[in-house]
Structure 1
Amino acid sequence: MKQRQLGSNGPLVSALGLGCMGMSDFYVTGLDEQESIATLHLALEMGINLLDTADAYGPHTNELLLGKALKGKREQAFIATKFGLLRDAENPHKRGVSGRPEYIRKAIEGSLQRLGTDYIDLYYQHRIDPEVPIEESVSAMAQLVSEGKVRYIGLSEVAPATLARAHKVHPITAVQSEYSLWTRDPESNGVLAKCRELGVGFVPYSPLGRGFLTGALKSPEDFAEDDYRRFTPRFQGENFQRNLQLVAQIEEMAADKGVQPSQLALAWVLAQGDDIVPIPGTKRRRYLQANCAALDISLSADELSAINAIFPADAVAGDRYSAESMAMLSL
């Protein structure tokens, strides 16, 4: 397995990680614990060690799943988990945020217990709390590093100025943001540039556009009633149809190259820089293997230009989250 470094002073990890959220939450059709665990074990066998979860996924059930899967295999994994996005176990659709030091102390203990480990490799603040100065939150995270409960710290969906302030308190190893052919925000809002300026690693989540860039989704009716994509602007009505036309062109280009659309889309993300470590999510072994094949796809300058011409930064129709969730981004 190829490796990439998380930031200028961070650890080496597999060049492709595995997003684990869908094994337990949000894309609920076809949940299969046995297959999910088999997928996690195959990832480790293939050398994929960056496993990404969060206490909000479930909530809590995804960390429990990883803890179960990693029994006897902890040292093979580089576990990334997150705190700070609050969900009510009785009504998981409710959202809140907390970056308060006392909450961080409580959150880490819960994650450690559920994951069955005494340390987290990479601990992210899932969303920035506008009521708590980032310096206070990062200081609390830094204390966890000094205690040996956390090895590296990160931030998710953070604004460049906030990242710079955080980095002065304690080195930030990685920033996680949505980034793909149809989500180019980190380019336009300066996050990617700020990461590179500070030597912070960049970890794109949803590099396949929540499954849209695979070409497998042809209608909003493809989603189960409780699939959260049904309630996301990009997957609704006219937006869905407009975005489908873009993906059709990616499918055509992929066919000409003899690869899958998902592999072409992943290869594009990987080609944006050796400091980028995407974490495509899947709960099935066959998709994990297909995603890994993207590491062996080379894209020429002409091919990259052609892809960018099909999918310019402002091409996609619709916001990537609901208005409530969009308000939590880039703080």
Structure 2
Amino acid sequence: MTIPQVKLAGKDVGHIGLGLMQLTWTPVPPPEEQSFAAIKAAADAGATAWSSATFYGPQDDQMANVALIGRFFKKYPEYRSKITLVLKGGVGAGLKPDGSKDFNRECLKKAKELLGDYEIDVYLPARLQPGVDPIEYFRPFDELRQEGLFRALGASECSAATLRRLHSAYNLAIAENEISLWSWEKEIQDVVAFSTETGVPVFAYSPLGRGFITRTWKTPEDIPEGSFQRHSPRFQGDNFYHNLKLVDVLDEIAAKKGITTAQLAIAWVASRGPNVIPIPGSSNASRAAANTESGNIKLTAEDAKEIDAILAKFELKGGRYADSEHLML
């Protein structure tokens, strides 16, 4: 291993993990061999905690991401024992929450089959169901854990108050929330505080602002049809150009340190807490390795102070999701 380690579900994993969503749940997925090269590069650099889901694929092939991992393990069986897999589920037709035991049991059985009977380390509902008590909603998932379909239970997009309740009832292995230089609201800071207090790791997804911090697109019109970003208020119209001013400043700080803005962003997320695990994703092998190597970048007190001052006075425009979508409950 080449980067610092943290504990996840009883295993040592790299402090930088790997998000796999964009390899299959995107308008134009990359070629499989390109995806494999990126996965391998990240793992070789130390990204041994992976995030996938039972719905990261098109409507007619929602298990595409899990199947991709299965084919990777078949081609590179030596990686099976190195990886800790966190799998989101609990999403049914129309991408609506489905916490029923029968539905999730079938999802887990299918996932294990596609993975080549790989033991799933952590399974977690991708979202809570509004109006349902979280403790009750999680009960079928914990019963599936007791059946031996996965080792540990996690939670996604939950508030710190909800996480405390769930952790008391179910001994959570991980929480998953969006954390980045443009997703650092008070509710997210509270989740990190929960992690620091309890030792429960946090998978920090979209640490690069869904590609915004790395200037993946120069204008809102550059974003491909069918992409999530097309519907995110932060990527739309005048909001896009206003928010780019934050990236301008981050570029300057990264240049002074002799690192990329992506590495600065990932290192900053990792510095939020001892158990915060950024999970950047990339289909480019060299970028995947560079992202993972951010785990060795230490920000100085002066760096942190400068960035904190920028975030305190910069007012982002637009929410993370469309107003109609529920978030942290």
TM-score by length of 2: 0.90
SS at match of 2:274: coil
1:199 positional shift = 2.9
Instruction: Give the total of aligned pairs.
Output: 321
Task: Verify: 1:138 aligned to 2:138, yes or no.
Answer: yes
Structure 2 residue identity aligned to 1:48 = A
How many percent identity over aligned positions? 34
Give the Cα separation in 1 of the matches to 2:184 and 2:313: 6
Give the Cα separation in 1 of the matches to 2:116 and 2:242: 45
Q: 1:177 touches 1:186 (CA, 8 Å); kept in 2?
A: no
Q: Which residue of 2 aligns with 1:330?
A: 328
Mind listing any 5+ residue stretches in structure 1 that lack a counterpart?
89-93
Q: 1:184 touches 1:313 (CA, 8 Å); kept in 2?
A: no
Q: Which residue of 2 aligns with 1:239?
A: 239
Q: 1:4 touches 1:274 (CA, 8 Å); kept in 2?
A: no
SS at match of 2:204: strand
Give the Cα separation in 2 of the matches to 1:131 and 1:237: 34
SS at match of 1:13: strand
Give the Cα separation in 2 of the matches to 1:103 and 1:6: 30
Q: How does 1:264-303 map to 2 (within 5 A)?
A: 264-303=264-303
Q: How does 1:112-151 map to 2 (within 5 A)?
A: 112-151=112-151
Give the Cα separation in 2 of the matches to 1:310 and 1:96: 37
1:185 positional shift = 3.1
Pick from 45, 67, 71: which aligns with 1:68? 71
Task: Verify: 1:203 aligned to 2:209, yes or no.
Answer: no
Structure 1 residue identity aligned to 2:302 = D
* Cα RMSD for the two superposed structures: 2.1
Structure 1 residue identity aligned to 2:72 = A
Q: 1:296 to 1:46 in 2, by over 3 A?
A: closer
1:186 positional shift = 5.9
TM-score by length of 1: 0.90
Q: Which residue of 2 aligns with 1:218?
A: 218
Q: 1:273 to 1:96 in 2, by over 3 A?
A: same
Query: For residues 46-87 of structure 1, what are the alpha-carbon distances to aligned partners after superposition, in whole Å with 9 as ceiling and x for unaligned?
Result: 33211110011102111111111112232221111111233x
Give the Cα separation in 2 of the matches to 1:101 and 1:129: 14
SS at match of 2:105: helix
Query: For residues 266-312 of structure 1, what are the alpha-carbon distances to aligned partners after superposition, in whole Å with 9 as ceiling and x for unaligned?
Result: 11111112211110111110211221232222211111111122223
Give the Cα separation in 2 of the matches to 1:196 and 1:298: 19
1:187 positional shift = 4.8
* Bigger Cα displacement from structure 2, 280-289 vs 124-133: 124-133
1:38 positional shift = 1.7
Q: Stretches of 4+ moved more than 4 A in 1? A: 186-189
Q: Which residue of 2 aligns with 1:77?
A: 83
* Bigger Cα displacement from structure 2, 273-282 vs 212-221: 212-221
Mind listing any 5+ residue stretches in structure 2 that lack a counterpart?
none
